[in-house]
Amino acid sequence: MKQNHSKLRAGDLVEVRTPAEILKTLDDAGTLDLLPFMPEMIEHCGHRFRVAKRVVKICTSGTKAGSTLRGFRTDDVVLLEGLRCSGAAHDGCQKLCTIFWREAWLRKVDAGNVLPTNVQPAETEQLRARLKTRNGSNLYFCQASELSRATKALSKRERYTLWFTEIRCGNCTPLEMIRRMGIFLFWKIRRMLLGPYARGKSKATPAASLNLQAGEWVQVKAMDSIAETLDQTASNRGLWFSPNMRLLCGQKRRVQRRIDKLIVDGTGEMRNLRNTVFLEGSHCGCAHIAFGGCSRCEFVYWREIWLQRSCTAGPHEDPSERTT
């Protein structure tokens, strides 16, 4: 199907097309330009959402070599406000990935047009039957598993010039982009001079279990205490403590959910985690490691050993207000 590149911008109101319309865009594997339309996305057909941002570049994990900063091969992918993958069709994956939407799966609508779209159950089942969720007995098939194939590595020039595209498409203001650039340059110079931030001395890093549950309040430990749990790469049992996470030290946050299993970017492997949670309002600070940041806005992973229970809730402070 020929795509109509409408160049959606942040703030545009769109409607997810009907299952029958989406089915016409997909190949036999249930993908469009190698990006899967997942079963978890079907429930949104016929509903309306605001565009959060265009996807100019993204960070990925699980890559074997080279930069983790990549871009889709076609400029027709957006994020919709508040939509993350539930993992329901993928054995309960708990990663809560932001969902990527091809423009061919959406139509721009006028806010004054309130006529509902009729979604037929038969069309829904036909679409569901086209969609695959596995690449084999031990590998899953989803947007995260196919990111390496649906995207391309960005050249050094692209990594350093796509900041203009971010501003032009409404993802951020010039002032916000200048702030991101400053953060990146500061931490790049620091890594060159001092090595990884918060690196510890341990070779075998410790673990601790608090059995935290969604809704509980915790306080992030002081940076000195956290550093004692990290190795020389600033990691605890393979999980990196990124520079932006230090902004929450001493603050209180509520647990969003436990994270016990997730599908790895680029491989489709389901990986088990222990003693790890998501905290409300704690998202990836890509600007610290990727020039200009990325569009993906994934949750940050917190080891329970970096946290302590709090009996009372604290005032919510937005760490994004700090610059470095």
| pLDDT tens sequence for the chain (324 residues) | 344 445 899 999 999 999 999 999 999 999 999 999 999 999 999 999 999 999 999 988 754 434 578 999 999 999 999 999 999 999 999 999 999 999 999 999 987 766 767 888 999 999 999 999 999 878 999 999 999 999 998 888 888 888 888 898 888 899 999 998 999 899 989 989 998 899 898 889 999 999 999 999 999 999 999 999 999 999 999 999 999 999 999 999 999 999 999 999 989 999 999 999 999 989 887 777 778 888 888 899 999 999 999 977 766 555 444 445
80 and 225, same domain (yes or no): no
Which two tokens mark 3? Answer: 């795509």
316 part of a folded domain: yes
147/176 same-domain check: no
Q: Say if residue 138 is in the same domain as residue 196.
A: no
Give a yes or no: residue 164 inside a domain.
Answer: no
Judge if 245 and 318 occupy the same domain.
Answer: yes
Predicted local confidence at residue 66, as pLDDT: 41
Kindly state whether residue 44 falls inside one of the protein's structural domains: yes
CA separation for the pair 97, 36 (Å, rounded): 13
Residue 147: CB atoms within 10 Å: 24
Same domain, 97 and 221: no
- Predicted local confidence at residue 296, as pLDDT: 83
pLDDT, tens only, 236-278? 999 999 999 999 999 999 999 999 999 999 899 999 999 999 9
Query: Are 254 and 133 part of one and the same domain?
Result: no
136 and 253 belong to one structural domain: no
Other CB atoms closer than 10 Å to residue 162's CB: what's the count?
18
Assigned token pair, 135: 């690449």
Helix (H) or strand (E) holding 71: strand 69-72
181 lies in the same domain as 105 = no
Contact at 8 Å (CB) between 319 and 247? yes
Give the angle 282-294-220 at the CA atoms, nearest 5°.
20
- C-alpha 322/C-alpha 319 separation (Å) is 6
Q: Specify if 116 maps to a domain.
A: no
| Pair of tokens at residue 199 | 């690196």
DSSP 8-class letter at 108: E
Q: Please indicate, yes or no, if residue 161 is contained in any of the structural domains.
A: no
The pLDDT score that the predictor gives to residue 6 is 56
Do 136 and 251 lie in a common domain? Answer: no
CB of 239 closer than 8 Å to CB of 259: no
Q: Please check whether residue 159 lies inside any domain of the structure.
A: no
Domain that includes residue 30, residue range: 13-110+121-151
The residues near 156 (Cβ < 8 Å, ≥ 6 apart) are none
- This prediction's pTM: 0.88
* Residues 99 and 177 grouped into a single domain: no
Q: 136 and 183 share a domain?
A: no
Number of separate domains in the chain: 2
Token pair belonging to 188: 């790049």
Q: Is the dihedral of CA 140, 144, 150, 153 positive or negative?
A: negative
The answer to whether residue 78 sits within a structural domain is yes
In this structure, are 189 and 324 located in the same domain? yes
**C-alpha distance across the termini of the chain, in Å:** 46
Give the pairing type, strands 217-220 and 307-309.
antiparallel
CA distance 229 to 106: 46
Backbone angles phi, psi at 129, to 5 degrees: -65, -25
| 6 in any annotated domain | no
Rounded to the nearest 5°, which phi and psi values hold at 134? -135, 150
